[in-house]
Chains A and B, each alone.
Chain A
Amino acid sequence: MVKKAIALALILGLGLIFAALLLGYAPDAALNETAAYYATRTADEIGAQNIVTAIIVTYRGLDTLGEVTVLFLTAAIVGLVLSRTRAGDNAPRLSDLPPPGELLEIGTKLLVPLILLFGAYVFINGHLTPGGGFQGGAILASAILLMLLTDPLRRSSHRLISRIESSAGLFYVVIGVLGAALAGGFLDNRILPLGEFGALFSAGAIPVIYALIGLKVGAEFSSMMVSLSETEDE
């Protein structure tokens, strides 16, 4: 009880700060300098229609690299943690599990290729339309999730997932380094021609990076889900 009271008091205190922030907040009338720069210069400098993508992949590419790394890290750690407890070989017992059902099985077979395709679409078009590597990657991973739901005992290849994940990451870093070497700086997308504004193959290396991110995110989510599902074995 005391604890809740203290918690409440603290939250109230925090609320005061929040209130100050809220009351002191006045929406900008015009874009601030940074946003205005992005609005006006993105087309020339980056060649991407989607300004958010331009910011994510190029202007703030380092953030994104870090973000990808967080996922990579989490996946690695989850793998590490869960592999440590996965001691011994308790063979899963099929009979314990209810059958997935025909609808799910067939639906999965039907949907997984579609989902994969959609995911690829989303990350390849990331510089043009809303969406991008993360969204696409998440969609890719949902396909794997579906497969796991259908057959909880399916053992996807850790090795493959990890290969995809690592090579995507490595290429990402390599592209970044190339940017520093060939163009204006680390992760500069202009190592490839900017192309025609609004075209699929435009905005320099952004589509490549987004593809890599998509693959990587997809692989990482998958790897986490696989790891987590494997813990059910025990």
Chain B
Amino acid sequence: MVHIAMLTGFVLIAIGIYGALTNRNILRMIVAFTVANTGVNIVLVSVGYMMGRTAPILDAAVPVAEAANRIIDPVPQALVLTAIVIGLGVTALMLAYAYRLYDCRGSLDISRFRDLKW
């Protein structure tokens, strides 16, 4: 189970990065990165997952005393939340960039923004 989830995550990352590296269109690159980010998030949560356990919420089903044996690792879950939000922020920023880039060049082709080099 865990391995499958993780594999999925890794494949998504690879697909995302490949997409970002080969697509010249900036918007497509951004989308590709969100795919990769999703992959990363899947990997993140899958690391904390443990077979047969439940969510880390101490309610009636999981008394505090047994919690250590009943719940899955809560830390990756906390991390993934942060990672998602940060990914979102960066994506938004990239979109803003895309907007401005299009604004000043009239194109979204990444290879057209090469006047700074060497």
User: Residues of A with Cβ closer than 8 Å to B?
Assistant: 3-4, 7-8, 10-11, 14-15, 18, 21-22, 25, 27-32, 34-36, 38-40, 42-43, 49-52, 55-56, 59-60, 63-64, 66-67, 70-71, 73-75, 77-78, 81-82, 84-85, 128-130, 132, 134, 198, 217, 224, 228, 231
Name, among B47, B69, B89, B93, the residue most crowded by chain A CB atoms within 10 Å (CB to CB). B89
Give the distance in Å from the alpha carbon of A71 to the alpha carbon of B59 in the complex: 31
Chain B interface residue count, CB cutoff 8 Å, equals 47
CB of A50 within 8 A of CB of B57, answer yes
In the complex, the answer to whether A70 meets B89 with C-beta atoms within 8 Å is: yes
In angstroms, how far is the closest chain A Cβ from the Cβ of B73? Answer: 4
Chain A contact residues, majority secondary structure: helix
Cα of A14 to Cα of B14 in the assembled complex, Å: 8
Residues of B within 8 A of A29 (CB): 50
Beyond the given A21-B10, A27-B2, could you list 17 further A-B residue pairs with CB under 8 A, ordered by the A residue number? A3-B21, A7-B21, A18-B14, A27-B49, A28-B50, A31-B68, A32-B73, A38-B56, A49-B57, A51-B67, A56-B78, A71-B89, A74-B88, A74-B92, A75-B92, A78-B95, A85-B100
Q: How far is the CA of A49 from the CA of B68 in the complex (A)?
A: 14
| B27 at interface by CB-CB < 8 Å | no
| Inter-chain contact A67/B58, CB cutoff 8 Å | no
**A24 CB to closest chain B CB, in angstroms?**
11
Query: 7 closest pairs, A vs B, by CB?
Result: A51-B56, A55-B78, A74-B89, A70-B89, A39-B67, A7-B21, A18-B10
5 A-B pairs with C-beta separation under 8 A:
A28-B73, A35-B75, A43-B58, A64-B82, A71-B89
Is A42 within 8 A of B58, CB to CB? yes
Interfacial residues, chain B to chain A (CB-CB below 8 A): 2-3, 6-7, 10, 13-14, 17-18, 21-22, 47-51, 55-59, 64, 67-69, 71, 73-75, 77-79, 81-82, 85-86, 88-90, 92-93, 95-97, 99-100, 103
| CB-CB under 8 A for A67 and B103, given A18-B14, A42-B58 | no
Give CA–CA (A51, B75) in the complex, Å: 9
Residues of A within 8 A of B17 (CB): 11, 14
- Distance in angstroms from B22 CB to nearest chain A CB is 5
A113 to B45 alpha-carbon distance, docked (Å): 33
Contact A10 B21 (CB under 8 A): yes
Contacts of A60 in B (CB 8 A): 78-79, 82
Please indicate the chain B residues that have their CB under 8 angstroms from the CB of A14 in the complex. 13-14, 17
